[in-house]
């Protein structure tokens, strides 16, 4: 089974745990049987592999998310990188061309497209397998998942059956109606449109030629910023007459706000937090390593990360995006393919960062034009390469790199942590040149 997972957006409604680099699907809040936590993308990837261990998963995403994906899922997952944002049709067309041209998937094969961030059980993926099998038959151009509504939501689009002589002859599609209209649609047997659909590669490649002028992966990638900006629903789904809808009536939640995310949390507190006995309906997620104490609180969320602190009524938490848009701050935490970093202190002429390297991983070999760096190894061991000279390092060692010198560090089998102090008048994330070793 071929699956394209759409991983986009910044998830600003889940600030301060998500930002332009660390989207909501990478927040580790779901507790596993071993007591460790996993993210949305880790959870959904694991569920896919549980249902179909041979499934080929490709993630369509932006360049800024590639490092986090490799960090959380490893190097084996396929990634179709969008050079910029051009809405869902271009993203899906590019990922489909990537499967065909780069991965060698036959055009008569089927693929299922679904978002990376729903909170679902395994029966969701069993339904996805059903979509895949129906698309593979080729009797319809497009096979959609229709999610059985649990209430008249105003947040989702609806797939509405068109009935003639007591039989469903076609479907119409509508975006986010008001509550009364949603009730009317549900009474007519409508489904939520969760953005899950399947097709043969040949179908989408033809649509790409028709609407974008080509289905060649290299051409699509090279002129991606010039492609028509249009949603898949508007470009394809709403005009397609040869389609089938398969009902899914299991559990499904869109965890796009703190209110809905807290409903999926198995425990009220993640991190260092205390709630007294007068609190009810309160959730704490604390990444700062300092205690948070809540007393007498009702239906609230408290979230603390290096990016900031949110204290909000759960209902009001859905409206934080415009306020977050006004916050101008550098990224304070990010996951990389080799590990992660967290900014500890920002001052004029210096920046202090805690760097964690995963076992047997290394940074890019790189240099800077405008800053010196000093590394202090605080745990673990490994090897540095500075201007081609290799040196073993261990806890307590200090390494100094001057402006212009090439450098990297490689962690040993137990991993490595270091404190990096950047010194210079023009400290910028863009001040980096990468080299091959």
Exposed/middle/buried for residue 207 (C-beta within 10 Å: 0-12, 13-18, 19+): buried
Q: What is the pLDDT of residues 284-317, one digit of tens each?
A: 999 998 999 999 999 999 999 988 999 999 989 9
Q: What is the pLDDT of residue 166?
A: 63
> Distances in Å between the alpha carbon of 336 and those of 63, 166, 353, 364?
12, 55, 14, 11
What tokens appear for 141 in the block?
Answer: 């151009």
Q: What is the pLDDT of residue 117?
A: 85
Residue pair 39/27 in contact (Cβ under 8 Å)? The answer is yes
Angle between helices 122-137 and 40-51 (to 10 degrees): 60
What pTM was computed for the model?
A: 0.84
Q: What is the pLDDT of residue 157?
A: 86
Domain with CATH 3.90.550.10 in the chain: 2-254
Q: What is the pLDDT of residue 107?
A: 94
User: Helix, strand, coil shares of the chain as percentages rounded to 5?
Assistant: 25, 40, 35
Q: What is the pLDDT of residues 20-34, one digit of tens each?
A: 677 888 888 888 888
Paired sense of beta strands 283-286 and 300-305, if any: parallel
Nearest to 215 by CA among 89, 393, 119, 404: 89
> Distances in Å between the alpha carbon of 259 and those of 254, 286, 311, 381?
11, 16, 12, 42
CATH class entry, domain 338-435: mainly beta
Counting as low any pLDDT under 50, the low residues of the chain are none
Domain with CATH 2.60.120.10 in the chain: 338-435
Residue pair 192/147 in contact (Cβ under 8 Å)? The answer is yes
- What number does CATH give the domain 2-254? 3.90.550.10
Residue pair 315/259 in contact (Cβ under 8 Å)? The answer is yes
Paired sense of beta strands 389-394 and 167-174, if any: unpaired
Q: How far apart are CA 359 and CA 288, in angstroms?
A: 23
> Distances in Å between the alpha carbon of 342 and those of 30, 318, 332, 357, 410?
22, 27, 6, 12, 18
**How many residues in total does the chain contain?**
437
Quickly count helices (H) and strands (E) in the chain. Answer: 10, 28
């Amino acid at each position: 089974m071929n699956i394209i997972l759409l991983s986009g957006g910044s998830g600003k409604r889940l600030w301060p745990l998500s930002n332009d680099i660390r989207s909501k699907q990478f927040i580790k809040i779901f507790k596993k049987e071993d007591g460790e936590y996993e993210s949305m993308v880790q959870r959904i990837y694991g569920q896919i592999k549980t249902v179909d261990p041979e499934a080929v998963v490709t993630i369509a995403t932006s360049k800024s998310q590639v490092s986090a994906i490799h960090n959380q899922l490893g190097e084996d997952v396929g990634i179709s990188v969008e050079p910029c944002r051009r809405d869902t049709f271009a993203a899906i067309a590019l990922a489909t061309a990537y499967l065909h041209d780069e991965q060698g998937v036959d055009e008569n094969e089927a693929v299922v497209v679904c978002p990376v961030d729903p909170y679902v059980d395994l029966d969701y993926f069993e339904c996805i397998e059903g979509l895949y099998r129906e698309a593979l038959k080729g009797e319809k151009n497009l096979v959609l998942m229709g999610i059985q509504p649990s209430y008249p939501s105003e947040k989702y689009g609806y797939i509405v059956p068109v009935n003639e002589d007591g039989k469903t002859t076609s479907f119409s599609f509508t975006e986010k109606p008001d509550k009364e209209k949603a009730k009317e649609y549900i009474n007519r047997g409508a489904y939520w449109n969760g953005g899950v659909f399947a097709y043969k590669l040949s179908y989408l490649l033809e649509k790409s030629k028709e609407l974008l002028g080509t289905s060649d992966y290299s051409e699509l990638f090279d002129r991606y910023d010039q492609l028509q900006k249009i949603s898949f629903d508007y470009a394809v789904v709403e005009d397609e007459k040869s389609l089938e809808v398969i009902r899914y009536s299991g559990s499904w939640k869109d965890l796009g706000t703190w209110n809905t995310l807290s409903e999926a949390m198995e425990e009220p507190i993640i991190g260092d937090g205390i709630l007294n006995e007068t609190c009810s309906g309160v959730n704490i997620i604390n990444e700062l390593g300092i205690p948070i104490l809540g007393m007498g609180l009702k239906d609230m969320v408290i979230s603390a990360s290096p990016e900031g602190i949110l204290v909000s009524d759960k209902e009001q938490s859905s409206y934080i995006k415009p306020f977050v848009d006004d916050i101008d701050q550098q990224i304070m935490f990010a996951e990389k393919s080799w590990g992660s970093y967290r900014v500890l202190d920002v001052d004029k002429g210096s920046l202090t960062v805690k760097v964690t390297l995963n076992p047997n991983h290394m940074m890019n070999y790189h240099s800077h034009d405008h800053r010196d760096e000093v590394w202090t190894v605080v745990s673990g061991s490994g090897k540095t390469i500075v201007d081609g000279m290799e040196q073993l390092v261990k806890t307590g060692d200090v390494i100094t790199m001057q402006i212009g010198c090439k450098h990297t560090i490689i962690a040993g089998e137990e991993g490595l942590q270091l404190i990096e102090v950047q010194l210079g008048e023009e400290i910028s994330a863009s001040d980096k040149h990468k080299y091959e070793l």
